[in-house]
Amino acid sequence: MDRIPRNITDNYSEEAVRDRIDWLRRKTGLPLDGIATYSIAPSDARGNIENFVGVAQVPIGLAGPLRINGNHAQGNFFVPLATTEGALVASYNRGMKVIGESGGANARILKDETYIGAIIDFGNLSEVIRFSHWVKENFSRLKEVAESTTHHGKLQSIESSIQGKRALLSFHYTTGDASGLNMITIASKAVIDLILTEVSVGRCVFPATFNDKKSTFMNAIKGRGKSVAADVTISRKLVEGALHTTPEEMMQGCYANSLMSATIGGTLSHNHHFANGLAALFIACGQDVAYVAESSVGSTVMDVSDSGDLYVSVTLPDLIAATMGGGTGLGTAKECLDMLGCYGTGKVQHFAEIIASVLLAGEVSMWGAIMSGEFSEAHRRYGRKQS
């Protein structure tokens, strides 16, 4: 059977890449000119990809300005959104305009802590309880071992949940500006290795992946990565003039939609479409896009304020984002992060506040479109036909 040329560890020479794409052209009979058009140097992609053959080009649309009054992000931002969903950029752009006319989005980091789990089997309940005491007593040593593997990660706590003879350990860290998942995997592995040396255990499953890159109640309840929120109060006049609906309609729509979903759909996340803006930002900014599954959890709430205006908030308990490491430094990703003033160290909370504010803009616009009946209209106008 045919195999892809070149060993998978020999990925990054120009020649290796050419061999592979040529082989693929012959194999498929396709010209593949798009994939082969890129500005990234293959060698820069070492550590990000194996068997590199080229790139996927995802169109970027620009939205903004988005006015943000955050603790970290402050000012007007122009936001690159990589998507092929027609109407998405136009809709976010409209929301940004409404937010700008309302004085900007107020964004805040609520919590910043990431955790990873391990499951350890013992012989019975008594043993697992004893172990859980051992972990408490040895925490400072375990912390030292974990932190010896990293400059930026700090082990804050180890929580132990017991279920029969098994313990679910969760290791909670602050991680600086990387998304930190690789970092805490390596640090926690060092802890696990120490445990396995000193404690007699049965099986160890590490990492326990039940909460990673998935929507889970535990992540939503405890928070994971950045917990971040943003809000805005939009005057009744602007709701009527720009969104063609009323604060009361918006609140009722939210109430009905959230209640129905809460009570009938088994939804753990109450927003219109966080996933839209998030995926578009994540692709543009070189994030690990698989985290859309986890980071898009969160809720939009709309209220009529005491003054009769519309109060809108978004809350994301579980945002996994990075401004260094992973794909953040590669070609277009670095450009997009730079555009937002977010590349490198000391920038991740800045980036998280921007993300929340962008999603707020999307919610304002899309809920407005739904409540005014323009939503499916917009899809007909901007979107591709799929009759």
Residues 326-345 that bind a copy of itself (CB under 8 A): 326-327, 330-336, 338-339
Site for a copy of itself in 259-298 (CB under 8 A): 259-276, 278-280, 283-284, 286, 288-294, 296-298
Please give the Cα distance from 267 to 318 (Å, whole number): 16
Torsion of CA 241, 245, 251, 257, to 10 degrees: -140
The number of CA neighbours under 13 Å toward the Cβ of 16 is: 16
Smallest gap from Cβ 132 to a copy of itself, in A, equals 9
Which one of residues 113, 231, 318, 353 is an interface residue with a copy of itself (CB under 8 A)?
231
Backbone angles phi, psi at 101, to 5 degrees: -70, -10
Catalytic residue among 85, 121, 303, 374: 85
Residue from 19, 22, 48, 174 in contact with a copy of itself (CB under 8 A): 48
Q: What DSSP designation does 103 have?
A: T
379 has catalytic annotation: yes
Asked if 238 interacts with a copy of itself (CB under 8 A), we say no
Q: Is 76 in the site for a copy of itself (CB under 8 A)?
A: yes
56 touches a copy of itself by CB under 8 A? yes
Does residue number 324 form part of the binding site for a copy of itself (CB under 8 A)?
Answer: yes
Q: By C-alpha distance, which of 373, 387, 361 is closest to 88? A: 361
- Contact range with a copy of itself by CB under 8 A, out of 138-146, 235-243, 346-354, 373-381: 373-381
Active site residue 374: no
Residue 139 binds to a copy of itself (criterion: CB under 8 A):
no
Q: Does 379 bind a copy of itself (CB under 8 A)?
A: yes
Choices 41-49, 134-142, 236-244, 346-354; region in contact with a copy of itself by CB under 8 A:
41-49
Query: Which residues share a beta bridge with 234?
Result: 310
Per-residue tokens: 211: 């909460």
Rounded CA-CA distance 237/374 in Å is 18
Q: Which of 14, 43, 103, 164 binds a copy of itself (CB under 8 A)?
A: 164
Stretch that binds a copy of itself, among 138-146, 198-206, 234-242, 347-355 (CB under 8 A): 198-206
Q: Is there binding between residue 66 and a copy of itself (CB under 8 A)?
A: no
Taking the complex as a whole, how short is the minimal distance between the CB of residue 241 and a copy of itself, in angstroms?
18
Q: Which of 177, 231, 249, 288 is catalytic?
A: 288
User: Dihedrals φ, ψ of 382, to 5°?
Assistant: -90, -30
Return the residue matching tokens 């970290």. Answer: 72
Site size for a copy of itself, by CB under 8 A? 183
Establish whether the linkage from the previous residue to 207 is cis, with ω within 30° of 0. Answer: yes
Determine, following the binding rule CB under 8 A, whether residue 315 of this chain makes contact with a copy of itself: yes
d(CA 207, CA 192): 10
Cα–Cα distance between 232 and 241 in angstroms, integer? Answer: 17
Residue type, 268: L
Q: Would you count residue 199 as binding a copy of itself (CB under 8 A)? A: no
Active site residue 152: no
Burial class (CB in 10 A: 0-12, 13-18, 19+), 176: buried
Q: Where in the sequence numbering do the catalytic residues fall? A: 85, 288, 379
